[in-house]
Structure 1
Amino acid sequence: MGSVFCEGLTHAAMYARFRPQVPASLVNYILSFLQEKCKGPMNNAIDVGCGSGQSTRVLSSHFKNVVGFDISEAQVAEANKLEKLANVSYKVNRAEKLPCETQSVQLVNAGQACHWFDLSKFFIEADRVLVPGGVIALYGYQFPMPIWENKTEKLTKLFTDLYLDSLHGYIKKESLDVYYSNYRNLRFRIPFEDYVQIRNETLYAEHQATVADFVGYISSWSSFQNFQTQHGQEAAYDILNTFETKFMNELGVNTSSADTELTLRTNYFLQLGRKPTTTTKRGNSPVEKQTNLTH
């Protein structure tokens, strides 16, 4: 059962092991948009809310220097432990006060993270650190869809029921905001002057995983972690066991969960905004003006 491989893993380690990897198609789409106006060398990118680094290291081949920031010391420690690339580093830092020089960064990236930010303050900071023509990229993903012959719909319902029923009281508002809106809410609008809404919801990634891996992914949900904190590990693992049993029964196979592979498809939603190529005097920034309207 999944609890066997979860034992001894911290939340940060679960996050690193089971969260989906960012597809190259999404990174290439961001880079293409950035390079339309930002023609110089790609020196600096930052990844805000980097977690254990999945959304950070994929930028390494495109920029001279990449830094991931996260408020969680455990996540940053896990990212540093895993990192082998010389041009990628990680620091504990909040999204609302970035330790970067003014107009020093070409890309401010946030993958499956910005719903946790104070966005009005984050947008002002992103505006400050970005070079003219630099880009903010906000993206997230829906739950991975388990693809298995003609049972995809039933399997998907099993884990959405787990999320919305068994764990509903343990889901924070910010997570539900992602689940229901895919960053379409007005608060996610990137408030650059003459802003044009750039969205892409066509990007996805597929990978092979075992059922045990899929259960491990569920154990990395913040709602599951909240349940475990309140009710203990045994009660939490009972939920995983029950889910895994239902899932395996639906598949109708004789193999173990660790030996049963299926395809997981993860659909992404991406929102991009470009800083104007003409600079504005600090204090009169259109970003500051628009974000101040929200208070």
Structure 2
Amino acid sequence: MEEKRAKNEEKDKVEDGLLLAIHGAKIKFNAHLGEFKVLTDVPTTQGKLTGTIVEKQIPNFKFYDGFQMISLTEWQDFGTAKVQENYVLLKKSTLPGTGKMPGNIPPETGKIEFITSGQVNEPESVAAKGAPVPEQKYDEKCYCDRDFTEDDIKAIIKKLRETEKIKTTSLFYDENCTLSESDKTYKRLCEELNSMMKKHNINTCIRKIHFLAQSYHESSRYGTTLEYSSGKKYNPGNHSDAKAMEHTVEGDGPRYKGRGIIQLTWRKTQKKYFSYVFGKRAWTIKYQEN
């Protein structure tokens, strides 16, 4: 019996990785049960509309007890095949989000999961009419719980710059950037990003997107690690926050203006950062007077 149970469990895992999630699939969010509705006009699987990653709106999910989603993020563990240029959803796909019951009841966080795929008898293999069967291979478009490669970083930055019609492929190329030439490479940026993200649990696509978007903006599209302005606006008497941020003498503004790909500004902020990285003594000896 144990051997048979193990085989059945293994079979279920295989099916979850092969079965497409389609219109009418049964879903759950914590203890709330409901149905998945495909709202896009797409090719069908077993006569029903095929689910893809664009189906992530509140009307896509109807719960029997009146529970309703409030916000949704991005689908996880989706397939590698596409329907109308969008990746297909699988029975194993999940969608994190927040929802609540009607009335004065606190919201719940969790993730939408498929109980069934919506397919008749849930066959071991899928013959999707109008939709290719997803292959069982690593999804290169998902960055959850894996390191970036150097090519990943190049592709991401290239895409971002193309939207702004920036032609250069160089990193930290602006004249005011104080990085050494050996640190202005995609290899070094990739190493630092992977190391930092592991350390601080930036381990999902959504977290990584937020960090890359913020750092891309703050560093002038990965063009510099030093604020362009002189920093005089941060001198005491020139800024309302100067005293609170420990700027007490003329010159503190330029000395502690924005630095790094997140543009940390102010003496108090940089002191906390360098004390965290190098220790208090290193801050006192090396950075306080520079």
Q: Which has the larger radius of gyration?
A: 2
| Larger helix proportion of the pair | 1
The higher relative CO (CA closer than 8 Å, separation ≥ 6) is in 1
What is the TM-score of this pair, normalised by structure 1? 0.24
| Larger strand proportion of the pair | 1
What is the TM-score of this pair, normalised by structure 2? 0.25
